[in-house]
């Protein structure tokens, strides 16, 4: 019987990811042990915007290593950082991206390796603000199709065209998936995606009341397959056409951040009111009301670390959840009567919508404290 584990967002140096796997007894030499099946929940790039060169190299090494295993042993789910390589950044060159990233650093007043330095620290605040305004105007004029400067300078700062080529190769080979399923240790069937499915996505898929994991996964996989088919010919000719999963997931462009399936995270609408980044209910949401999680569906997702959850879900977090600073496996449970965000995997409950969050915040948590989610079996 295979030992099956789900690994949260592996955004960390390759060596640390291997250390985590080794501490869980999943390695045999420099490979996964033959009896191990691993599901990576997505986001294999961009763990440190301050050192984009090293970060770029580590992300490539990690993804190549995972993909070098047989598809029956390693399942790769597509995260927003993976998808961005063939969406927002589908046509940009390394040189153009480096220039855009440099301007983004000036705008953020946060220079780092490989980026343009801002004015000296002792420069008057007014002069620094003028420099930021000039950089923003230059960015908007030069890169009208890119998302916001903060996304370029922070979220996707380690992009390279080599990464894009690898993501294209894996998509064409059928190695990246939007969804899969598994069975938890308690016997529940669960849907596995990068950031979760709400009633919005089910409605867009034409099945607003569906709550069966395998059926939802099949619909998502069919949508990804159609999207790849639309760009298969140009990709095989070496053209870098952008992948589209609209309206399920919308790429960031024209100065706006992306939203939807691979971007959104649960948030208290009362807390998010007035925050343009939240956009709950919009066409490209980056946040969703937990009460739109499908009733009766158990999901396993990454994308959102514990620190962000305790911020976004503060009204529903238990004392135990608040006491933990980073990492851990957690459950957001929604029932007709209440919402609760707590540590661990909540026991089965009739009529609940459960979102099990496994982003381990790898850069912030010691390897010996990183949990992997065991499954009784995968799809």
pLDDT of residue 256: 87
Q: Model-level pTM? A: 0.93
pLDDT of residue 279: 56
12 in Cβ contact with 327 (< 8 Å)? no
CA atoms within 13 A of residue 162's CA, in its CB half-sphere: 12
Q: What are phi and psi of 107, to 5 degrees?
A: -60, -40
Predicted pLDDT of residue 111: 43
Query: Which residues, in sequence order, are CB contacts of 238 under 8 Å at separation 6+?
Result: none
Report the DSSP pairing between strands 330-334 and 353-357: antiparallel
Contact 241, 235 (CB under 8 A): yes
Put residue 255 in one of left, alpha, beta given phi > 0 → left and psi -120 to 50 → alpha. Answer: left
Whole-number pLDDT of residue 116: 41
Contact 26, 38 (CB under 8 A): yes
- What is the secondary structure of 178-237 as a DSSP string? S-EEEEETTS-EEEE-SS---HHHHHHTT-TT---HHHHHHHHHHHHHHHHHHHHHHHHT
Q: Can you give the pLDDT of all 379 residues of the chain as single tens digits?
A: 899 999 999 999 999 999 999 999 999 999 999 999 999 999 999 999 999 999 999 999 999 999 999 999 999 999 999 999 999 999 999 999 999 999 999 998 744 434 444 444 556 778 888 888 999 999 999 999 999 999 999 999 999 999 999 999 999 999 999 999 999 999 999 999 999 999 999 999 999 999 999 999 999 999 999 999 999 999 999 999 999 999 999 999 888 899 999 999 999 999 866 565 555 667 789 999 999 999 999 999 999 999 999 999 999 999 999 999 999 999 999 999 999 999 999 999 999 999 999 999 999 999 999 999 999 988 8
| pLDDT for 115 | 40
Q: Return d(Cα 84, Cα 176) in angstroms, integer.
A: 13
Q: How far is CA 162 from its chain centroid?
A: 19
């Amino acid at each position: 019987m295979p030992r099956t584990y789900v690994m949260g967002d592996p955004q960390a140096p390759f060596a640390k990811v291997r250390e985590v796997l080794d501490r869980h007894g999943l390695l045999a030499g420099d490979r996964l042990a033959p009896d191990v099946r691993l599901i990576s929940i997505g986001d294999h790039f961009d763990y440190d915007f301050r050192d984009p060169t090293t970060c770029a190299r580590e992300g490539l090494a990690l993804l190549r290593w995972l993909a070098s295993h047989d598809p029956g042993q390693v399942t790769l789910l597509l995260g927003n950082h993976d998808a961005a390589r063939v969406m927002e950044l589908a046509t940009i060159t390394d040189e153009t991206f480096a220039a855009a990233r440099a301007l983004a650093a000036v705008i953020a007043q946060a220079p780092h390796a490989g980026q343009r330095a801002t004015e000296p620290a002792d420069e008057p605040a007014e002069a620094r603000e003028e420099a930021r305004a000039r950089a923003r105007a230059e960015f908007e004029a030069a890169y009208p199709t890119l998302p916001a400067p903060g996304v370029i300078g922070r979220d996707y700062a380690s992009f390279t065209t080599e990464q894009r080529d690898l993501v294209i190769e894996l998509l064409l080979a059928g190695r990246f998936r939007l969804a899969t399923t598994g069975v938890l240790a308690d016997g529940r069937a669960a849907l596995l995606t990068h950031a979760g499915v709400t009633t919005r996505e089910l409605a867009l898929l034409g099945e607003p009341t569906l709550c069966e994991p395998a059926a939802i996964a099949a619909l998502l996989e069919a949508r990804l397959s159609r999207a790849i088919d639309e760009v298969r010919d140009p990709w095989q000719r070496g053209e870098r056409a952008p992948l589209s999963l609209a309206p399920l997931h919308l790429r960031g462009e024209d100065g706006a951040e992306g939203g939807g399936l691979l971007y959104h995270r649960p948030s208290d609408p009362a807390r998010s009111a007035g925050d343009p980044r939240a956009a709950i209910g919009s066409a490209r949401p980056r946040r969703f009301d937990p009460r739109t999680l499908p009733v009766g569906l158990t999901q396993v997702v990454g994308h959102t670390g514990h620190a962000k959850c305790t911020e976004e879900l503060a009204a529903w977090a238990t004392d135990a959840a608040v006491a933990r600073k980073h990492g851990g496996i957690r459950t957001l449970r929604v029932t007709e009567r209440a919402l609760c965000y707590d540590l661990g995997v909540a026991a089965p409950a009739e009529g609940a919508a459960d979102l099990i969050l496994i982003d381990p915040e790898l850069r912030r948590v010691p390897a010996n404290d990183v949990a992997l989610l065991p499954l009784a079996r995968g799809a």
